[in-house]
Chains A and B, each alone.
Chain A
């Protein structure tokens, strides 16, 4: 009975459809969407346990044998990400309940958040390349609508650019799929992996792999991140936090899948390019994060730096580096959501978006200040928090692989991340208090609770690495040995 594997995608889709009919009943919408997300999270925990007990789960949809039908494959990597996505979505929903306002709530915002989650989970779980394209489109269409919902001038402008960029990247994805189908004649990932191994990854296939690299770079913000800061600073805070936590990470996931399962025969070409692109991303992201004064833009550039950091792990491609990337991916989803929520709260409280226009907030809002401090330390990789283990393992992996330039860039970028956020912290929270006690806007508890939850999450993740370790090791193991994945898909029934 592996049928439960479709739950992480089917449950949000069904809930989303139901929510469309419940437009006037906002309280009911909130309850249902929260229940659905929590149900997805609980289901992914159960599935993770099952993967630990009995290996990779697959389900052949419609009962068709693997290369012919479409299928879902749940290994530890995918399910860990499904779990993290559910947690982050639940927290962002909690923040949306108290901040997003009736105009959004009456225009189906919860339904589209469900569709977004369905697309994200589907992308994590699918075992078929064209299905991955379709799940990407489900996610992207929902994100287009979430980005433009509200119809402010800036939102419309930025979402137009976002849509055009993504039409282009989806187009390249289709071209790559067409070429790959023409070259090897299948679209099932496990079957593709076998056939590419048989033909020994000819130059043609390497070229196609470069096309995939471009596609997922556009989605993940690797080098091609020019669209990202604008898009992520336009929508309401809860939506921006969802985007920052989920959208780019799906591109990162797809990159990991494609370059560990399909195109791993010519690492001197593909992985070298990934390394070069990661280096450029780290440098460009750091420059962007330091040069801006806008809090949301700084946080957006931190998303870019983190993508570069994870790609350093993929470029090194040793077992320690992959494990580190997986830890970092999970950590980054939580902490980026935390940072976006805090930045949004700061802007909502002060009415200003530049950090040099705020000052001395820590006297007015001490908890907010310390939460920002925790998020900052966690992102920089200070030991008790969750960013540490990922950074250490990626560092270890790059030393093993002998890519010292990447190692240096990755750790210098950590310092610059710390610097960029410390600038915000020092200017906005320290200094002279400019908001007097009478003028200060009351900080509602419901605005802070989601951030507190995420901060607890990063501490728990940092201290509970031992609990997570067997799952992450299993995930890295499957990434390193494509045979395990292929055998799980083609097991004789």
Chain B
């Protein structure tokens, strides 16, 4: 099971890398979103995908899944949410200001 998920995460990283290297800002932002999905999957997998019940304390349950990676992922998701929201608005502002979403048009010019 771990192997499958690792391969999936790898594919996500490949897709994200391709998107981040493209020229349009929106594609780059999509790339970063996919990148964070990949790492959340990875965090989950590195904690181990053994069988066990959900980590909610209850009677007559013997084994639980590891609760720590879930807490880490929850934190990381919220953070990447905030950053994604910010960068979307930033990209919007930049588009309004420059009229372009192409990174080639956003090189530093001396006349500024």
Contacts and interface: CB of A to CB of B under 8 A. Distances in A.
Interface string A173-186: 01101110110000
B93 A156 contact: yes
A182 B47 contact: yes
B35 A144 contact: no
Contacts of B48: 182
A274 to B, nearest CB: 25
A167 B83 contact: yes
B91 A167 contact: no
Given A167-B87, A174-B43, A178-B42, A141 B93 contact: no
B69 A160 contact: no
Interface of B is mostly: helix
Nearest to B16: A171
A137 B80 CA distance: 9
Contact of A160 (B25, B47, B75, B76): B25
Interface in B32-48: 32, 35-36, 39, 42-43, 45-48
A175 B75 contact: no
Given A156-B90, A156-B97, A181 B69 contact: yes
Instruction: Indicate the size class of the contact surface on chain B.
Output: 20 to 34
A157 B106 contact: yes
A11 interface: no
A148 interface: yes
B79 interface: yes
B63 interface: no
Interface residues of A, number: 30
A450 B99 CA distance: 39
Interface string A325-345: 000000000000000000000
A157 B102 CA distance: 11
B46 A144 contact: no
Given A163-B83, A178-B39, A182-B47, A153 B91 contact: no
A130 B69 CA distance: 11
A468 interface: no
Nearest to A144: B86
A469 interface: no
A154 interface: yes
Contacts of A153: 97-98, 112
B83 A141 contact: yes
Contact of A134 (B46, B79, B83): B79
Contacts of A141: 82-83, 86
Interface in A145-179: 145, 148, 151, 153-154, 156-157, 159-160, 163-164, 167-168, 170-171, 174-175, 177-179
A235 B60 CA distance: 59
A176 to B, nearest CB: 10
9 contacts: A133-B76, A154-B108, A157-B94, A163-B86, A164-B20, A167-B87, A168-B35, A174-B39, A175-B39
Interface of A: 130, 133-134, 137, 141, 144-145, 148, 151, 153-154, 156-157, 159-160, 163-164, 167-168, 170-171, 174-175, 177-179, 181-182, 187, 230
Given A156-B93, A160-B106, 20 more contacts: A137-B83, A141-B83, A141-B86, A144-B90, A153-B98, A154-B108, A160-B25, A163-B86, A163-B87, A167-B32, A167-B80, A171-B35, A171-B36, A174-B39, A174-B42, A178-B43, A181-B47, A181-B72, A182-B46, A182-B48
